Amino acid sequence: MSAADFQATADKVRTMSPPSQEDQLELYSLYKQATVGDCNTAAPGALDVKGKAKWSAWNGKKGMSQDDAKQKYVTKAKSLGV
């Protein structure tokens, strides 16, 4: 998986019609894992429902290599028609 392929897919995802919330969280968590690595922020407070969902999704990818996350991101995006 080249960095250019990953970036091209990420660019296409930004312009597509929003998928389901579940698919959005999956794409978000894989993107963050691919670009940043393991979750490195504290969990948001209980009142930040959206932030907590995003944090939980990303934190659930802990231990996944950045290369694996890139591949899974591209695969997920393609399954959504990107």
pLDDT at residue 62, rounded to an integer:
97
Domains recognised in the chain with CATH numbers:
3-11+23-79 (1.20.80.10)
pLDDT at residue 65, rounded to an integer:
97
pLDDT in tens, 25-70: 999 999 999 999 999 999 999 899 999 999 999 999 999 999 999 9
The answer to whether 70 touches 1, Cβ cutoff 8 Å, is: yes
The rounded distance, in Å, linking the Cα atoms of 69 and 28 is: 11
